[in-house]
Structure 1
């Protein structure tokens, strides 16, 4: 502090610097006080001294042993200090009381030591040990002084032991809370009450301390009531007032009226806390005046007012930092909410940071797998591979030849070019048809036949090695793309985590006012987003008895208020008539998709090699997929079904469509060595703008019917699983309301018998359709194909018809006064 004062005396010091130095000195002083109270044990000394003085009904002392036992269990090193302070406090009342306190502590230590040999759980046995200690010490003390025990003595010993039993449980909860150097962020209501009981018990030790008729316990009890009413509101203030007043009334029957005064003052102070400290102080003054009317004249009223004024003075002198720090631990306060929000924000930031780190790790792994070679590197690698191959050939054919020196020393260039040309021709499988090259080899080499055999053997190994390297390279590229996709998904997820819930207090109040003025009772409204197209509102309403007022009334009103179509996304009805229904509202999608499916197995069987799925991807997109496994039967069904299931799971995770298809292809190609593959026909429709992406892997064309016009959509790709790397070609098409998207397997497209041009036949049949119902169209086309085969189903058949329509809510919007229109539409 002296250093801070010297710095403050420096000339030319700015106001900001002065405040900084003062704040630093204040924080340093608080740190020293905290060290003195909690680490050095001063708080145990003060509490123990006052609890040693505390009496109930002028003869019962139930506080000393419970406090000592709790300190001994929680802070064993501070137990001697607590015992000395308890004895010192009781000594200020009378030597007999000090003797009783001392003997109670000694008896407790003895009983506790004995019990520790039999029962290891000290927390559970501690209240019972205190109960036995208080009963034995009280009866022994009474017997020594009175010489006999009466029924009254037994009764008072039982009361004192019972109170000590309960206080032990309370002190075990409260001592760790007040002695911790760092408090928890939130206290339960039960913990707050335990602390209040401890504080009221400590205040009991002030009974008898007075100055000119002003009693210390009255002043400090009212100060505590003011403090907690200002911090926690009327509920906390009233609760603290009742608890404190009750315990003070038990300590002194003359203080019994204090319970009503403190409770009423705590209630008024909490109700007037919006007026800050002056409002809370006014609540205490009003309560004191009203309760004083029951007193004995003006002298009693003036004494109460003076005690209240002293408590108010202490309250006004209490620094704001202390009240704010205490408020952080009281549930329901603004400071507590801010503290919780900061904690949640910290957890969110840490989680987002970890997800970002994982995203960067996956991106780095993707880059490490994605190996790109420059042209000069490719040439260099090709030259090395050629030299390695020729070295292997010459080692087996030329190493022991007597003409080795002539060929590879004297005529190196000629021999190397000849061997290189033979290698190239062998790689292209044209060597044995090249008579001139074979003739040149026979003229140049005396072991031409042996060289040809070695070339053929080494070429097989060389090609196998090249193929293996290519597979490894393709696998690297696939893994790189998959890791990049995972990295992008995690990066998007991190961005979503970072998004904070916006504050829409004004809009929430406007929505509540609008609905309540319309006659609808609302529990609460929480607005999470008001962005166009992504509105997110949660609401609780009283039990509606299944009348559907959320969908029929509230959603249409919100549609008019927010000027966009709002629907009920999720609804949880109340379980009982007096309960609440919880409803989630959101923006409706501009378009909807209705599908119809016709499906048949070869020969009318039960198991089809075709599989299909309609998937709501949950991000405003809708996917339709058809997969045709090779052949028919169980194995084909397994392949196509696995393709659809894998694709569905991967797409719902948020990975890009191309990466998803390549991942499915990789899994299917690596899973088995059998010649099994499946086609894939995938259409992903954006329900906000009706844009559609088509990804076709070995599948038949799809058709879009728009009025009288028919559009064919096709792509040329091999089926999934037939190659290690699949080339995904994306075809985009802008759909319009009323369009019909028709997707089919080859059993439908190539099914008609004696038809040469399947495209023209299918277009003609689609154009002749007079209905626009998806299910009817699917049934009619399949029926037409089967008829051309004379009623026989010679292949698995699947057709999925999707209709794109405007998404019109079932209920029209209900006009609301423009004053209540909330969100961004209100100026």
Structure 2
């Protein structure tokens, strides 16, 4: 063996400027001013300026604490908050104490309260009140000041809650595309408070606070519509009124103007601007009864001009945050389309039902030879043998009834016994007929021809019956599909919006989400996204997020994703996880080289799990073909949505028509509803099945029906049971059940064996049970033997 050689890949060595640049970048540290950092500095400065009741400035303190709980690197933002306070007439001594206490307290408890907004808000409120109390102890204490400190602490508590939604939007590195309603409102409130920090800044006759307040209302109204515009307008009006001595009438002006701006958004930017102007004019005239305005017309015009010239890219960016109508559907159209599809499928179902009835009404010939056949056979024999016989006149003219009845008796005897004995030929016919041997040969020949013809007629009838059953099965499937389409289905758009927000927070790009809630209150979530190239994102990342949002466990179905080669997207569906899980173990041994038993265990639609076992007649290749055909057809029909009765009747018809020889096989079918734990046993000539309960008790499921493929009409026996956590379903072929010949009841040794086996592993139980059966046979394989064990457990 050659020695292993380690190959070191080529690496370019950089020096000089590159090395110096990296060193300089490391030295800059937190002073590297990114877009997010600039935004934090600006917001901190303006929040420091923002105040209410002409002297209280709790917003900057709450903002600083919210940042400290995220990362201690934001501690320097407190300097800009303090700088903003210095530019106003606020008494900064108390807030310097508050900033210092915040830095000390939250540096210690940051890790404990980081993920707990309520605890953070309580701690922030306590710090604010303690800072005010320390300041009053150093100066003077009045009851009024204590009440105001309590009020200020409450404001800090509330604002920390608001910032818990708004701050992550600012500090996240990736751009968010969709906001929840809570985040949208909190961003609007934060923006309003920031705008209030522009109070007392006047350029000429323009008050900057009013200009940006109107501009903010315009942006949200244009992108979000009337409801968002009115909400943001009222918020800005409330904050503006609290931060100055202006009249509270400003609240109604902002709110009404935002409402009209949203209503006129269909006319474009100019329409929203006209809505703002009209709202201000109407309410000003209504409140004052004159032309004296509360917000200067020049300020409104300036805001409208800034809004109109705002770049399209910025407007599109804001639209992603404010537009709440991106994912709505036209329910009227969808209901109409659903009704059209339902009616058309109903027509198809009725058509197939009529075809099934037509084919099914064809009567089956009950007897091998009926009265007409008998008359025809007698006529043909007489025409062939007796017409040119010299005794024809004596036999058929003089003794017609006697001759006719004698030949009928011969044919009847031939029908009953298959051959004619000499002593059974009527004596009168023997004495009268001079061509007796030729007559008997003609009768036997005509009978053989008629028997072949009858057999083909029977086969043709069975084929028609099979077609009728298939038509009926197709009619049932189409009818079920029409009912499923017409069932009450709610498109849960609010859940869709919540999922868009949740995925956006995690940085997972999603193209389309559709959430359905059916009549049984089960969710079905269809998701389309960029393909992950089999990295299992749908199971490992997406499913947990969906489960967290809807509050229910979900699983992906089908197990394989569907990728679109043209778009590069994959689509899959998440459904509510079943309450129960099943694991199946199988053990089998064959008498010959090929085992005549076949089995299957598969997941079916609608949360069903099927276990099937078929034992072909005899053993070897022929038995294997029969059982494999039964299992294969059963799988295909059940997965296609056929009812189990229709599927079994179809298999029976196929086996009956498949060959002129006797071919049959047993069918042992168990179907478990994974949502309810109910199991249904369907047995056709199959060996007994068993249920081993978690407490050790064993129940027997017996059958007395014939195998499929023997009779045209199969006798289906069905048994229902309820499974609990830890129960086992035990299915086996008759080779295992018949292993103990010393007991009268074959099931007794299986019951004793299952009680002795203590293992909880279904594969181990199947192996042990098969080993016991082989020992019962004296360590000889006298028949094909198969054991299938399925364990059911409840998902916690």
The change in CA–CA distance for 1:572 and 1:453 in structure 2 (over 3 A counts) is closer
> Which among 547, 559, 570 is matched to residue 555 of structure 1?
547
Q: CA deviation at 1:521?
A: 11
Distance 2:636 2:449 in 1: 41
The change in CA–CA distance for 1:773 and 1:361 in structure 2 (over 3 A counts) is same
SS of structure 1 residue aligned to 2:600: strand
Distance 1:739 1:457 in 2: 63
Distance 2:412 2:685 in 1: 34
Aligned to 2:681: 694
> Which among 415, 419, 425 is matched to residue 413 of structure 2?
425
SS of structure 1 residue aligned to 2:584: strand
Q: How does 1:730-741 map to 2 (within 5 A)?
A: 730-737=717-724, 738-741=726-729
Residues 591 and 781 of structure 2 are in contact (CA less than 8 Å); yes or no, is this contact kept in structure 1?
Answer: yes
Residues 652 and 714 of structure 2 are in contact (CA less than 8 Å); yes or no, is this contact kept in structure 1?
Answer: no
Distance 1:430 1:772 in 2: 59
Q: How does 1:170-249 map to 2 (within 5 A)?
A: none
Q: CA deviation at 1:633?
A: 4.8
The change in CA–CA distance for 1:433 and 1:687 in structure 2 (over 3 A counts) is farther
SS of structure 2 residue aligned to 1:781: helix
Residues 536 and 585 of structure 1 are in contact (CA less than 8 Å); yes or no, is this contact kept in structure 2?
Answer: yes
Aligned to 1:800: 788
> Which among 331, 351, 357 is matched to residue 361 of structure 1?
351
Aligned to 1:650: 637
Q: CA deviation at 1:614?
A: 0.5
Q: CA deviation at 1:425?
A: 1.8
Q: Spell out, residue by residue over 1:226-270, the C-alpha distance to the aligned partner (whole angstroms, 9 max, x if none).
A: xxx99x96599xxxxxxxxxxxxxxxxxxxxxxxxxxxxxxx999
The change in CA–CA distance for 1:688 and 1:388 in structure 2 (over 3 A counts) is farther
Q: How does 1:528-539 map to 2 (within 5 A)?
A: 528-529=516-517, 531-532=519-520, 534-537=522-525
SS of structure 1 residue aligned to 2:687: coil
Q: CA deviation at 1:363?
A: 2.1
Q: CA deviation at 1:624?
A: 0.5
Aligned to 1:173: none
Residues 499 and 546 of structure 2 are in contact (CA less than 8 Å); yes or no, is this contact kept in structure 1?
Answer: no
Q: Spell out, residue by residue over 1:609-643, the C-alpha distance to the aligned partner (whole angstroms, 9 max, x if none).
A: 32211011112221101123445555544443333
Residues 356 and 491 of structure 1 are in contact (CA less than 8 Å); yes or no, is this contact kept in structure 2?
Answer: yes
Residues 684 and 717 of structure 2 are in contact (CA less than 8 Å); yes or no, is this contact kept in structure 1?
Answer: no
The change in CA–CA distance for 1:278 and 1:660 in structure 2 (over 3 A counts) is closer
Distance 1:473 1:286 in 2: 79
Residues 700 and 714 of structure 1 are in contact (CA less than 8 Å); yes or no, is this contact kept in structure 2?
Answer: yes
> Which among 646, 665, 670 is matched to residue 683 of structure 1?
670
> Which among 258, 272, 280 is matched to residue 283 of structure 1?
272
Distance 2:445 2:679 in 1: 53
The change in CA–CA distance for 1:432 and 1:590 in structure 2 (over 3 A counts) is same
Aligned to 2:582: 593
The change in CA–CA distance for 1:344 and 1:277 in structure 2 (over 3 A counts) is closer
Q: CA deviation at 1:781?
A: 0.6
Q: CA deviation at 1:719?
A: 4.2
Q: CA deviation at 1:478?
A: 1.6
Distance 2:770 2:444 in 1: 54
Residues 272 and 279 of structure 1 are in contact (CA less than 8 Å); yes or no, is this contact kept in structure 2?
Answer: no
The change in CA–CA distance for 1:533 and 1:415 in structure 2 (over 3 A counts) is farther
Between 1:270-279 and 1:452-461, the stretch displaced more is: 270-279
Residues 610 and 672 of structure 2 are in contact (CA less than 8 Å); yes or no, is this contact kept in structure 1?
Answer: yes
Q: CA deviation at 1:745?
A: 1.8
Matched, 1:438 2:430: no
Q: Spell out, residue by residue over 1:150-188, the C-alpha distance to the aligned partner (whole angstroms, 9 max, x if none).
A: xxxxxxxxxxxxxxxxxxxxxxxxxxxxxxxxxxxxxxx
Distance 2:373 2:603 in 1: 51
SS of structure 2 residue aligned to 1:619: helix
Aligned to 1:10: none
Q: Spell out, residue by residue over 1:292-331, the C-alpha distance to the aligned partner (whole angstroms, 9 max, x if none).
A: xxxxxxxxx99x99xx9xxxxxxxxxxxxxxxxxxxxxxx
Q: CA deviation at 1:373?
A: 4.2
> Which among 757, 777, 783 is matched to residue 765 of structure 2?
777
Residues 235 and 270 of structure 1 are in contact (CA less than 8 Å); yes or no, is this contact kept in structure 2?
Answer: no
Q: CA deviation at 1:480?
A: 0.6
Q: Spell out, residue by residue over 1:585-617, the C-alpha distance to the aligned partner (whole angstroms, 9 max, x if none).
A: 5434344333222133447x6x53322110111
Aligned to 2:714: 727
SS of structure 2 residue aligned to 1:627: strand
Distance 1:418 1:343 in 2: 79
Normalized against structure 1, the TM-score is what? 0.50
Matched, 1:477 2:465: yes
Residues 572 and 582 of structure 1 are in contact (CA less than 8 Å); yes or no, is this contact kept in structure 2?
Answer: no
Q: How does 1:207-356 map to 2 (within 5 A)?
A: 272-274=261-263, 283-285=272-274, 351-356=341-346
The change in CA–CA distance for 1:336 and 1:409 in structure 2 (over 3 A counts) is farther
Matched, 1:370 2:357: no
Matched, 1:664 2:651: yes
Distance 1:682 1:496 in 2: 26
The change in CA–CA distance for 1:481 and 1:530 in structure 2 (over 3 A counts) is closer
Query: Which blocks of at least 5 consecutive residues in structure 2 are unaligned?
Result: 1-217, 226-256, 279-296, 305-322, 564-568
Distance 1:702 1:661 in 2: 18
Distance 2:391 2:729 in 1: 74
Aligned to 2:596: 609
Matched, 1:463 2:451: yes
Matched, 1:416 2:404: yes
Q: How does 1:59-98 map to 2 (within 5 A)?
A: none
Q: Spell out, residue by residue over 1:722-779, the C-alpha distance to the aligned partner (whole angstroms, 9 max, x if none).
A: x473514222132331543211123322345766753332233233333444223212
Residues 600 and 631 of structure 2 are in contact (CA less than 8 Å); yes or no, is this contact kept in structure 1?
Answer: yes
Aligned to 1:703: 690
Aligned to 2:438: 450
Distance 2:508 2:449 in 1: 82
Q: Spell out, residue by residue over 1:775-802, the C-alpha distance to the aligned partner (whole angstroms, 9 max, x if none).
A: 2321211111222344444443210012
Q: CA deviation at 1:276?
A: 6.5
Residues 706 and 715 of structure 2 are in contact (CA less than 8 Å); yes or no, is this contact kept in structure 1?
Answer: no
Q: How does 1:375-414 map to 2 (within 5 A)?
A: 382-414=370-402
Q: CA deviation at 1:287?
A: 9.7
The change in CA–CA distance for 1:434 and 1:709 in structure 2 (over 3 A counts) is farther
Residues 658 and 728 of structure 1 are in contact (CA less than 8 Å); yes or no, is this contact kept in structure 2?
Answer: no
The change in CA–CA distance for 1:419 and 1:541 in structure 2 (over 3 A counts) is closer
Distance 2:363 2:570 in 1: 62
Q: Spell out, residue by residue over 1:479-536, the C-alpha distance to the aligned partner (whole angstroms, 9 max, x if none).
A: 1111110111122223333457424456767x779999x9999989754115445233
Residues 687 and 737 of structure 2 are in contact (CA less than 8 Å); yes or no, is this contact kept in structure 1?
Answer: yes
RMSD, aligned CA: 5.2
Aligned to 1:713: 701
Aligned to 1:641: 628
Distance 1:482 1:617 in 2: 20
Query: Which blocks of at least 5 consecutive residues in structure 1 are unaligned?
Result: 1-228, 237-267, 290-300, 309-331, 560-564, 810-827
Q: CA deviation at 1:540?
A: 9.9
SS of structure 2 residue aligned to 1:613: strand
